[in-house]
Amino acid sequence: MNFELKTALLDNAALEKLDALIVLVGTNFVPATGRLSDLVQQAVKLGDLDTKAGKLLQLYATAGVTAPRLVLAGAGDLSAHHIRRAVLGAVATLKPAKNVKKLGIWIAPAAGAEAVAAAVCAVADASYVYTTTMSKPQGRTISSSLLMVPDAQGMKPAFDRAVATVRGIELAKEWGNRPANHATPNLLGQAAKALAKLPRIKCDVLGPKQVAKLGMGSFMAVAKGSQEELRFIVLSYSGGTKAEAPVVLVGKGITFDTGGISIKPAADMDEMKFDMCGAASVLGTFRALGELQPAINVVGLIPTCENMPDGRAVKPGDVVTSMSGQTIEILNTDAEGRLVLCDALTYAERFKPRAVVDIATLTGACVIALGAVRSGLFSSHDELAAQLQAAGEASLDLCWRMPLDDDYAEGLKTNFADVANVAGRAGGSITAAKFLQRFAAKFPWAHLDIAGTAWKSGAAKGSTGRPVGLLVNYVLGQVKPDATPVPGVKPTKPQARKPVKTGKPVAKLGHAARLP
C-alpha cells in the first residue's frame, strides 16, 4: 500500500478526490466553518454519531464531500489506542467494496504523532490480504491511503517510522502465513538474503556442516528428523560505528512443528506453520531498519529447521551437548524451541552485545497466562525489561513482565545431564525462560514469548506480524540522541510492498493445546 501525508483542514479533506473518506471524530470535537464540519456537529448533537472509539456512522453521496463514501468514526480521546480502534472499524466496513482503492483519513488537530502512527498501522492491518498461494489471488482493494493532518511537517517523522514499521509487519505476516512447504528453512534463508539488498544490511546463511563445526548439538538434534536441511541465518545492520556494541535479536524459526517423537494432536496442527513467527519478526524488523537507516548496529540470528518424527529423530531421554558445552536431557521433543534458541544465544556472545532479545512462539502456558493481548516478557535485566515494556506501550504491541525467580528452575534438574529441557506443567512459560536464562549469563537478556500474540485462530486465522512494532520501537529507542548514521547512505524512500512471488482473537485454548 502507498501512504501519503498531507496538511489539510476538514473542509479541504472534503474536496479531495477519494473513493472513501474517514473522519475521526474525538469526544471533544471542535467545530469549524464548512459543510462537513456542520454535518459532523449535527450528527453528534442529534446522537446519530457516538464519539466513543469504534462507533461509526456511514453516509453516501454526501453534499459537499467529493468522496462518494463517508465514514464518521468515533475516536474517543484521540489517543493512539482509540485512533487504532476507530480506523480498524472504519476500514473493515469499507474493505468489502471492490471500488474503494484510494482512501482518505482526516485526523483532528488534537491528535498527537503517536495517533498518526497508529492510524497508518491500523489501515495496513485492516486492509491486509494474503495472496501468495491462491490460484486466483485477490489483492487488497485499498491500494493507497492519504492521511490528512493540520501539520504534516511536524508529523512526518512519526509517519515515516510507521510506514517503515508497516513494511516490516507485512513481511513478517507474509512468512508467518505461508504454509510450511512454501516456507522451508532454505526459503527463509533466501528471504533473509533478499534483505541484504537494502543499505547497510548483510546476511550469511550457514548450513548443516557449518553449524556442526560450531558445535551446535542442541540445534542439530531438533533438525535430525526432517529431510529439510537446517539453516542458521546471521543478519547484520551496520548504522553505527564499528566500535559500537550491537543489539542482537534472536528469532525462533521452526518452520513446522509436529512435536517430533512427542507428537502433537492432529487437530489444528496446521497452525504449527506459525512456529517460525519469531524468525519472521526478526526479518520484519530488519526490513524496517533498512528503510529507516538509524544510527545503531543490530544483529539478527535465526536458527531455523523443521521438527519432524523420523527414524533419525531425537528421542525422549536422549542427551545432547549444546554449543555452550552444557548437556541437555531432552525429556520432551515438543519443547524444541528452547533447544534451537540456546545455541543461538551462545553464538550471540561473539558480538559482545549491549543487549540480546529472543523472540519465540515458545509455550502454551504463556497463552493461558496472558491470552492474545500481551506477549510474555522475561528478563534478567531491569533496565532492558523496562525499555521493552515501554516500547510495547508506545507501539500498541503490548507485553507484560513475568517472574524469573530461581526457585522456578528446580524442576529442570535431572540425574542424567546438566539440565532437562522441560519441568512440570506448573509455570511452564517461566521454566522455559529459566532454561534459556542459563545460556544468557554473559549479556543483558530478555525473552519474548509470543505464543499467544503471533497469530490468530478461527475465522480471522493468520499471522499478526507481532512483535515487529515493539522491536522497531525498542531498537530506535536505543539510538543515541546525538548519533548520526554512518555517512554514505541516505534513508530509503517508502515504497509500496511488491507481492512476493513463489514458485477472531484466539478462542478456547487452541494455541495452548498445541504448544508445550
Report, as residue numbers or ranges, the catalytic residues. Answer: 264, 338
Residues 290-308 as b or e (16 or more Cβ within 10 Å = b): bbbbbbbbbbbbbbbbbbb
* 8 Å CB contact between 71 and 123: no
Q: What's the distance, CA 266 to chain centroid?
A: 27
Query: What number of H helices and E strands is found in the chain?
Result: 15, 20
Kind of pairing between the strands at 102-106 and 253-257: unpaired
Phi and psi (nearest 5°) for 379? Answer: -155, 145
**Residues 460, 140, 397, 374, Cα dihedral to 10°:** 0
Which stretches does DSSP call E strand in 52-156? 56-60, 69-74, 102-106, 144-149
Where does residue 409 fall: left (phi above 0), alpha (psi -120 to 50 degrees), or beta otherwise? alpha
Three-class SS of residue 306? strand
Strand partners, 71: 22, 58
CA 159 to chain centre: 18
All three cell numbers of 13: 479533506
Per-residue cell: 274: 506459525
Beta-carbon contacts of 420 under 8 Å, excluding residues fewer than 6 positions away, are: 328, 329, 331, 411, 412, 413, 414
Nearest-angstrom CA–CA distance, 188 and 203: 12
The grid coordinates of residue 247 equal 543489539
Rounded CA gap, 335 and 314, in Å? 12
- DSSP class per residue in 377-436: EEES-HHHHHHHHHHHHHHT--EEE----GGGGGGG--SSSSEES---STTHHHHHHHHH
DSSP letter for each residue of 460-506: G-EE--TTHHHHHHHHHHTS-TT--PPTT-PPPPP-PPPPPP---PP
**Amino acid (1-letter code) at residue 115:** A
